[in-house]
Amino acid sequence: MFSSVWNFLKRHKRKFIVTGAVVGGVYFLGKYARSKIRELQEKEATEYIAQARRQFLFESNQRTCNMTVVSMLPSLREAIVNQLNSESLTTILKTGPANKVEIWEDLKIISFTRSLVAVYSTCMLVVLLRIQLNIIGGYLYLDNSVGKPPAPPQAPPEVQQQYLSSIQHLLGDGLTQLITVVKKSVQNSLDGVCLKQSLSLLELEQHVSWIRAEVETCTQHPLSSYMLADDDNALADQACGLTENDVLTIRLLNETRDMMDNPDFSIVLTTCLQRGFSRLLDNLAQFFHPPPTDSAHTFTPASLPSICLPLAKIIPIINGQINTICSEVPGHFVQELLMNDNLKEFAANVYDSFSTSQEVHNSFVLMITSSK
């Protein structure tokens, strides 16, 4: 029996070898495939968790941006009011001075200037903080990434504080420069308009458009110059006296400028300004109503352009708009800016570019630089 089995095996030896090789190959191939599938699943799970964490941190960062904007509005309003103090003029007017008309003329210029400056500076504050906090947020994500090789943090707390303190330029020298430019444009537009002259909402809108055109086409002072000081480049030339934190801060500031040189930044800021000035005019429109004695005509939105108010009555209305624009309780004005879709998309792009690997980030910065 054994010999017959042995003879059978000898006769079919080649078949058994081929079959064994096929079965063994299939076994090891299946084992290898299962191993690769498991690796792929683990990789996909890791990437999904990382992406979910990245998205969670981004959304948390946007809430921080919103809260930071709201917390800084009282400081911005105080800075504007300190430089454009209309309250002192109204107090003098109550005493019935001999130069009443002259004081009213000053009040006219100051009232319009501070409301327009409030719109400009609030929009700038919103966009600048979106850039800064998303740059920091991106670097913090990289610094705390799981599996990242040991390396010095790119945004330590001291650097964050030093970097974010650059916002003081917008509340200080930048604001002063902005007030000077806006005030001159307001004078050019309204100097010939006397206090008794009546203006419709459409005429008021035209004056605002003229002022904006003059301010925003001023090549000597682009809007970005009011947002970020340019003096840290001088510090970079004195590298021997700079600490490591100073170098990191200068890098963050230069990266912020790269973002501000990006055409998307101009689009986002322009969109915010359009929305801001539209909201300002909407607020003013609430005061343009027909006289109570005019019962012959029913008020409709279509009749709004024909309703006029003397400039002397418009001045107190526009003078008080700063309290609505720079309110610590978020009103429609600030909410519309914070919820702007273009701003959200821009913030996501900034965060994405700084929360990727350094190699990808460097190529992104190179792309921005080459597009200037």
| Average model confidence (pLDDT) across the chain | 82
Segment 157-170 mean pLDDT = 93
Query: Rounded to whole angstroms, how far apart are CA atoms 291 and 293?
Result: 5
Lowest-pLDDT choice from 46-50, 177-181, 198-202, 207-211:
46-50
| CA-to-CA dists, residue 280 to 117, 185, 277, 284, 322, angstroms | 12, 18, 5, 6, 10
pLDDT class for 77, splitting at 50, 70, 90? very high
The DSSP output letter for 199 is E
CB-CB contact of 321 with 111 (8 Å): no
Q: What is the pLDDT of residues 164-204, one digit of tens each?
A: 999 999 999 999 999 999 999 999 999 989 999 999 999 99
Q: Burial letters for 86-110: b for 16+ Cβ neighbours within 10 Å, e otherwise?
A: beebeeeeeeeeeeeeebbbebbbb
CB-CB contact of 154 with 248 (8 Å): yes
The domain segmentation of the chain, as residue ranges, is: 73-370
- Which is it for the CA torsion 150, 248, 265, 370, positive or negative? negative
Residue 322 has pLDDT above 80, yes or no: yes
Instruction: Give the phi and the psi of residue 362 in degrees, each rounded to 5.
Output: -60, -40
Q: Tell me which residue of 88, 114, 152 sits closest to 280, measured CA to CA.
A: 114
Query: Rounded to whole angstroms, how far apart are CA atoms 262 and 340?
Result: 18
Residue 365 has pLDDT above 50, yes or no: no
Segment 50-76 mean pLDDT = 85
Residue 72 has pLDDT above 70, yes or no: yes
Q: How many CA atoms lie within 13 A of 75 on its CB side?
A: 13
Model pLDDT, residue 183:
97
Instruction: Give the phi and the psi of residue 357 in degrees, each rounded to 5.
Output: -65, 160
Query: Rounded to whole angstroms, how far apart are CA atoms 220 and 225?
Result: 9
Q: What is the pLDDT of residues 94-104, one digit of tens each?
A: 888 899 999 99
Highest mean pLDDT out of 44-48, 64-68, 124-128:
124-128
Model pLDDT, residue 370:
47
Model pLDDT, residue 230:
79
| CA-to-CA dists, residue 302 to 61, 202, 244, 278, angstroms | 43, 12, 63, 17
